[in-house]
């Protein structure tokens, strides 16, 4: 039986760390999209490595209103102080084993694949957000643009659309 969706322990651990300024609906939407991305990659590349999903909130962005990512109408570009990798205020780590999720205190083992996800904090006051992700096996981050439309958050863009296909309403669609 393959892992599916967001497990209660992962969602519960993240929900417990959110502040009143964080929109839980953004977090749920982002985790739905990114857990699916994790699972797709796990299913296509699973090996003897340990597979970790590391998610956290970032509140320290460099000049957030002076730079833009022009996808899907434009977003504030998420540039961080730490060599372009967002510094996380807190983290939740989950280990995927192909059947289920297990919360972990830390990353362990020499052979591991880590999917690092930074979601902006204070999202309750905004109608758009860019989530910064990076696989430990690649150099380039992938950005996901979310917009609050009619009261719900939807993923409307991904920075790797040219290589991975169009991203429509948080579902990857193959180019025909």
Retrieve residue 171's tokens: 């579902």
Residue 176's alpha-carbon distances to 71, 72, 81, 108, 166, in angstroms, are: 21, 20, 39, 41, 10
DSSP E strands: which ranges in 22-120? Answer: 50-58, 68-69, 75-76, 90-96, 101-104, 112-120
Instruction: Decide if pLDDT at 176 tops 50.
Output: no
pLDDT (tens digit per residue) in 83-141: 668 889 999 999 987 678 889 999 988 889 999 999 988 888 888 888 989 999 988 88
Cβ-proximal residues to 26 (8 Å cutoff; 6+ apart), any chain: 119, 123, 129, 146, 148, 153
Phi, psi of 69 (to 5 degrees): -110, 115
Lowest-pLDDT range of 88-92, 105-109, 148-152, 172-176? 172-176
pLDDT (tens digit per residue) in 43-97: 888 777 889 999 999 887 665 555 656 655 555 665 665 666 888 999 999 998 7
């Amino acid at each position: 039986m393959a892992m599916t969706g967001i497990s209660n322990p992962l969602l519960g651990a993240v929900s417990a760390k959110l502040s009143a300024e964080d929109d839980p609906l953004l977090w749920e939407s982002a985790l739905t999209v990114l857990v699916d991305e994790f699972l797709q990659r796990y299913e296509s590349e699973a090996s003897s490595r340990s597979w970790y999903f590391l998610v956290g909130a970032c509140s320290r962005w460099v000049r957030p209103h002076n730079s833009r990512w022009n996808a899907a109408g434009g977003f504030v570009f998420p540039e961080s102080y730490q060599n372009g990798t967002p510094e996380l205020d807190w983290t939740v780590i989950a280990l995927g084993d192909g059947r289920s999720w297990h919360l972990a205190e830390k990353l362990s083992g020499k052979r591991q694949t880590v999917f690092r996800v930074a979601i902006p904090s204070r999202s309750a006051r905004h109608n758009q957000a860019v989530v910064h992700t990076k696989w430990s096996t690649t150099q380039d981050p992938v950005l996901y643009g979310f917009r609050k439309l009619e009261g719900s958050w939807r993923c409307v863009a991904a920075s790797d659309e040219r290589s991975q296909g169009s991203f429509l309403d948080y579902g990857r669609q193959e180019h025909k």
